């Protein structure tokens, strides 16, 4: 009886493992990254791929606001163009009006919270909450730029191989836009579409450098522009740029590993006062309430915030090593 039970248990365990492996193999073969790349290549090679693509428009679709009156008002406001570029670099579909509306809504929510908890200065939570949309966009922008920076060497190699195979530079951009993953593929597709619509290659590449404010990307754009003006072996230049970028990224990874201890110490020291304050507020709210209801307590809070900010900036300067 025991032998039959153990045999059944082992068989059931093996069947479950095989089932999990079969599901994984099915998923990777039909939905995985390699399957998606093969599907894109087949779509590119098929004769009717142009009918499956979304129709393109030569009109500028991005607007500052959905309301024409508000869009004209924002167009006259200074620094709105920089804010719109900031949103484009983050890869978000927000308009400037939506971003401003979210900022005002967050500030209003902070003021309501300050009034609800009977704070003497409701302006502080309002300002802190108003920074949340900006911090969200900034985080999305940094993540997107890091992805593009990691994909840039492979994109340069793909363009170089396309040129070595005899394709034109615009065709190489099209192949990079279809073969590479997002988000770098979308940027190359934009450049290819602009060139097809009659925009000069130099202007399209300069717009690309504005949308992607990375030093490595600007090096690639400058190399292409110089080659178009003076001639030369562009494939060799792209290979050298790809090799330099890979070496720099490897060095940057080693530096991040070596500075990980300092980064962790900075996070712990920066978050420790807030964590202790939260624990005290949960354990004894009346004991901590004096800190923001008494004028002397507010002065102490401002002093602690300023000193913590200076300490965080100083530690960030120590652990941040430019490559």
Dump pLDDT digits (tens) for 263-318: 788 788 778 888 888 888 888 878 877 777 778 877 888 888 888 888 878 877 77
Residue 280, CA distances (Å) to 124, 156, 284 in order: 21, 54, 6
Which residues, 6+ apart, have CB-to-CB distance to 246 below 8 Å?
A: 153
Separation of alpha carbons 237 and 233, rounded Å: 7
Confidence of residue 80 (pLDDT cuts 50, 70, 90): confident
CB 183 within 8 A of CB 155: no
Confidence of residue 259 (pLDDT cuts 50, 70, 90): confident
Q: What is the dihedral of CA 60, 61, 64, 68, to 10 degrees?
A: 90
CB 184 within 8 A of CB 116: no
CATH number for 146-248 (one of 2.40.40.20, 1.20.81.30, 1.20.1280.50, 1.20.120.610): it is 1.20.81.30
CB 207 within 8 A of CB 225: no
Q: Which residues of 4-15 are buried (b: 16+ CB within 10 A; e: fewer)?
A: eeeeeeeeeeee
pLDDT given at position 62: 61
Q: Count Cα atoms within 13 angstroms, Cβ side, for 44.
A: 14
Q: What is the mean pLDDT of residues 230-235?
A: 79
Domain spans of the chain, in order of start = 69-144, 146-248, 260-319
């Amino acid at each position: 009886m025991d032998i039959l039970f153990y045999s059944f248990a082992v068989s059931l365990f093996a069947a479950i493992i095989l089932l999990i492996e079969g599901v994984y193999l099915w998923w990777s073969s039909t939905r995985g990254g390699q399957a998606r790349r093969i599907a894109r290549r087949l779509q590119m090679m098929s004769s009717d791929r142009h009918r499956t693509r979304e129709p393109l428009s030569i009109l500028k679709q991005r607007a500052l606001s959905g309301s024409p009156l508000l869009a004209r008002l924002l167009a006259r406001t200074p620094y709105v163009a920089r804010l719109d570029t900031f949103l484009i670099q983050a890869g978000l579909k927000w308009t400037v009006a939506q971003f401003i509306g979210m900022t005002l809504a967050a500030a209003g929510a902070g003021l309501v919270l300050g009034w609800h908890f009977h704070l003497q200065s409701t302006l502080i939570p309002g300002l802190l909450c108003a920074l949340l949309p900006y911090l969200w966009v900034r985080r999305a922008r940094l993540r997107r730029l890091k992805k593009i920076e990691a994909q840039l060497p492979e994109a340069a190699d793909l363009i170089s191989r396309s040129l070595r195979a005899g394709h034109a530079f615009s065709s190489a951009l099209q192949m990079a836009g279809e073969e590479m993953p997002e988000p770098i593929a979308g940027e190359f597709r934009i450049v290819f579409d602009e060139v097809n619509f009659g925009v000069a290659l130099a202007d399209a590449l300069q717009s690309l450098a504005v949308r992607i404010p990375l030093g490595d990307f600007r090096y690639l754009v400058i190399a292409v522009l110089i080659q178009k003006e003076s001639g030369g072996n562009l494939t060799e230049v792209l290979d050298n740029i790809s090799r330099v970028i890979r070496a720099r990224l490897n060095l940057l990874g080693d530096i991040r590993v070596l500075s990980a201890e300092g980064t962790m110490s900075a996070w712990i020291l920066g978050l420790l006062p807030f964590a202790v304050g939260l624990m005290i507020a949960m354990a004894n709210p009346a004991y901590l309430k004096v800190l923001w209801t008494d004028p002397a307590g507010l002065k102490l809070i401002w002093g602690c915030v300023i000193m913590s900010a200076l300490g965080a900036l100083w530690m960030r300067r120590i652990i941040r090593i430019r490559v």
